[in-house]
Amino acid sequence: MTDVYLNGQFLPLDEACIPVLDRGFLFGDGVYEVIPAYGRRLFRLHEHLQRLQRSLSEVRIPEPLDETGWAGVLQRLVDRNEGEDQSVYLQVTRGVLPKRDHAFGGQDIHPTVFAMSTPLNPPDPAIAEQGVAAVTLDDIRWQSCHIKAITLLPNVLLRQQAIDAGAAEAILIRQGQATEGAASNLFVVRDGVIETPPKGPLLLPGITRDLVLELATAQGLPAREADIPVERLRDADEVWLTSSTREIVPVTRLDGVPVGDGQPGPVFRRMHRLYQDYKDAVRRGEAD
């Protein structure tokens, strides 16, 4: 049976409950992280916890644990559950206040902390061989997408719209610029140069995104942050999507049109291999 962590206790999933007045339930008032573990070793934990701290600070929720405390809780959670590779979901809400009220200032806040871990299956090898389809959609989200908030209804609707259209993901367009996917970060390759939109309030600063840039730089592959007008997206030689659980995904069809020659490109193949090597190093305890 799966064990979860809730407010200082480890307990079976079917015993974990929160009050109906929890602001996460009433308002979506909270933030979250998703952290892979390879060989039961938490992947880029420091970077994930830094992003969590920034999100908590932005929404004015007091941080329940310091980095050492989080590391202990999350590692114990991984150790208590099955699977050498796991996906840890961590959520912090503002907690329970005496009544439903949009305002929260001046009240004694005790955040609700929930974490669960599930087996993490490797990505389907066919994706790396064949790629996926994506569609472009108008970005209907708010102005603070850099906060990893649990209020994901626009992302949910956009992703479902993409799936309804026979695609795996929606690439979002705001004022003529491609920003990211509904649940992923965006890369394009043009003339051998890897590009991804710069960090800012209109996109989530992805941990996998940052690692791809690190690996590219370390291997001498030209990579940079740059705005991606929709015309540049459509003319790209390669398009990729990245996330912690899906890793690096090549897009081979965009709005029904082949990307490049319609096959995962050579730069993707090299980056895919570098990423798999990095994961293996994590499993051996040679990287974090």
The residues annotated as belonging to the active site are: 148
- The single-letter code of the amino acid at 26 is L
Q: Which of 186, 142, 149, 139 is nearest to 54 (CA)?
A: 149
Question: CB of 15 within 8 A of CB of 2?
Answer: no
d(CA 15, CA 36): 24
Residue 116 exposure: Cα atoms within 13 Å on the Cβ side = 11
d(CA 104, CA 90): 22
CB pairs under 8 A, 24+ apart, for 141-145? Answer: 141/172, 143/201, 143/202, 144/58, 144/201, 145/179, 145/180, 145/201, 145/202, 145/203, 145/204
Q: Are strands 193-196 and 247-254 parallel, antiparallel or unpaired?
A: unpaired
Eight-state DSSP code of residue 124: P
d(CA 178, CA 206): 15
Question: CB of 237 within 8 A of CB of 260?
Answer: yes
Residue 76 exposure: Cα atoms within 13 Å on the Cβ side = 14
CB atoms within 10 A of CB 71: 15
Residue 45 exposure: Cα atoms within 13 Å on the Cβ side = 20
